[in-house]
Structure 1
Amino acid sequence: MDSETAGKARHAAYVAEQSSARAATQAMASPLVKAIPPAVLALMQQDHDADVLEKQLAACAVQAERLGNARYFENRPPTRQECAEVVEKDRCGKPVTRAMQLGKQKHVLALQCAEAVLKELWPAPFSIEQRYRYYPNARFLETISREKEARLIAEGCTEELRGTLKPDIVLHGDRDLLKSALTLDFKFPCPDTNLPNWTQYGPGSPYEGMSQKTLYQEALGGQALLISPRYGIREVKP
């Protein structure tokens, strides 16, 4: 090997070493980076640091929180009393609190933002608000089309959707859209001093005793993380 070739080889090895070190540093600091499959992480790092994705998704949550609150409360978050206020009733006559109303509106804003971020930064397919039907005994998962979901809701046949799963974001590692590399859910606690938590399924649910996180990971595989305005992306135990 001549000196020029040897020099190029040493440089390539150095670049690879630095890239690995950078990835290791990010992984120690970031639950999102740790959860991304190595092959996808390598593709991402060809164009940008992987933690850019985490920062921008967290920024989507902050922006949605600010815009959602501004509609009703100008430049302040709602109080605990305001969060508990009943503002309307749903089609079934059940009360809708301000917290529920704000959460729904903020989700729309956050997911619009997240879709734009993922189109730019995620190098593989992703799904937003895809509804799934999961059969835990058979460990079988299938998708429900948006058309069928909309038709059932319009017909008032929501009982047929009972027990289905609808995570906010599913990041796929390849073209298998029934497998998750990473599942993300936005949470907008109201008041904002509450901690973001996974929904726990109670009596009457086919998943009684389980949490959203456990169910997502069992049904889709991959890690499941929360995104909130105050804490960004974090791993929250069920």
Structure 2
Amino acid sequence: MSATQHQEATATESSASAHTTIAENVKVRSVVSTETQSKVDTDSAAKMALLMSRLGSTHSQIDEYSKHRQAEISAEAQILLQKILSETQAEQQALIADAQIRCDGIEEQYKQGLQRHVDQLDLEKAQHLADLEKRLNALQEQILEQARQNIDRLNEEANAAKLAVLKEAQHAVNVKVEEITDQAAILGQEDAARQLQSTTTTVITTQAKSAAETHVEGSTVLHSATTTSSTS
């Protein structure tokens, strides 16, 4: 039967701590001493060293793996980031294009609305101008009618004045004819007094013509006297 020898290393550590407590003016001080002995098996230390060596190797492997994975993740993240940026840019461009289409549609809609409004205004303007023209024509017709009435009234007054002048002229002619007739009668009486056989014929013709519209022709008085005298 074989025996396995173990090498051990012993380490002794001592420590002391003091505690003081005061209560009701009574002070109590206690001291606690601790002694610890540690025994380390030399084989265990070798195993521990090997374990630590493996742990360090594992740590290096993990660190390398971590760096590799970080690189892969960074590359993947870069790809994803580039994809996100591309998709975002595409979405922005699509959004801008859609906004432009909507803006063009709104612009066209407002243009059509504005054109319809302008057409409506033009129609109303044309209607107002037509109404104004009708009113002006009616007023002009009233003015012309009033002018015609004034002209007709003036012509009537002028014709009445001309007729009055004609009547006055006729009256003057009649008076003159009467005077001539009276003078002829007086001359006949004088001839009879002289015992002259004579026959006197007096013919007086009066012609008068009037234009009732615009003109009055002159008055013409014709006097013709025929005297036949015979003496025996």
Structure with bigger helix share is 2
Q: Larger % of strand: which? A: 2
Fold equivalence (TM over 0.5):
no
TM-score in terms of structure 2 length = 0.22
TM-score by structure 1 length?
A: 0.21
Bigger-Rg structure (1/2)? 2
Kindly indicate whether structure 1 or structure 2 has the higher relative contact order, using CA contacts under 8 Å at least 6 residues apart.
1
